[in-house]
Each structure stands twice: as C-alpha cells, then as structure tokens.
Amino acid sequence: MTRVKVEETKAAIEDGASEIDMLINLGALKSRAYDAVYQDIDAVVKAANGLTTKVIIETALLDDTEKRKATEIVMAAGANFVKTATGFNGGGATVEDIELLSSIVQGKIGIKAAGGIRTYDDAVKMMQAGATRIGASGAVAIIHNEKSDTDY
C-alpha cells in the first residue's frame, strides 16, 4: 500500500499538485502497528519533496486514544497538517475533536477541519477551537453567511 501511495504522490506532483492529502493507514492504526503507520506517512512526506502534506485520520472512526496516537505519528513523520475527514465515512469535524487535536499539536503543525462544516458559525467555531484550515464543499455559501446544503 505504501508503494502505491508514493507512486500516486509522484504522479500528482508531475500533474501539477501543490499539496498532497493522504489517508492514514486505518487498519494498521487500529491494529496498533504504529511503525507501519509511521513508515507509510514518512514515505509519502519524502515523496512529496517539500510540498505541504496533509494526513487524514478519519476522526469519526477513532476513539480519543487513537486520535491522539494518530496525531502524534503524523507529527513525528513530518507531515504539515492533520486533517479530520475525507467525507466518505459518515462524520466530519467536531469542535471537541479540533480542541483535542489542537492540544496535541500545540501549533507545531496545522489542523484542517473537514466535514460537517455548513455555516459561517460552524467555521468560526472550528477556528476558535484550533483549526488552521477549513475544508467545506459549501465554502461559497459559508462565506456568504448562508447555510450549505452539501453532505460534506
């Protein structure tokens, strides 16, 4: 799996990507195979060759202990951001999750709150909780202080 992620990263860069998003190896994380999780992220960060790398940890699928460990590994492997969700696993950012991630990263890396942000107030709450970026498919509506009706 890591080899595929590395090749996809290289291809994305060749195609003009300026940032890389990757999904943490959830199976390895849940199995407590932390070295495998670290090596996977480290390989992609190295392949990104200095480009901003964001690691999606799917907070809705993790308990707080797993969120903490995942975030610690993301930091140790040299990624630039920890990101809450892909939008495909039934949950997005919560204020509580962003506060937890913020307490872990302590400003050393960024936090991208993604998923479930549908209003301007939602976005503000995420930023106040410690998010440094917002990911929302309804960003235009949110900026105009309208409610987004998207699922993500």
Q: Which of 54, 67, 69, 112 is catalytic?
A: 112
Question: For residues 150 and 128, what is the distance between their CA atoms, to the nearest angstrom?
Answer: 23
Q: Among residues 40, 54, 83, 122, which one is catalytic? A: 83
Please pick, among 21, 40, 97, 122, the residue that the annotation labels catalytic. Answer: 21
Annotated catalytic, 21?
yes
136: three-class secondary structure by DSSP: coil
Indicate the DSSP class of residue 50. Answer: T
Helices vs strands, H then E, count in the chain? 7, 5
83 is known as an active-site residue: yes
Catalytic residues: 21, 83, 112
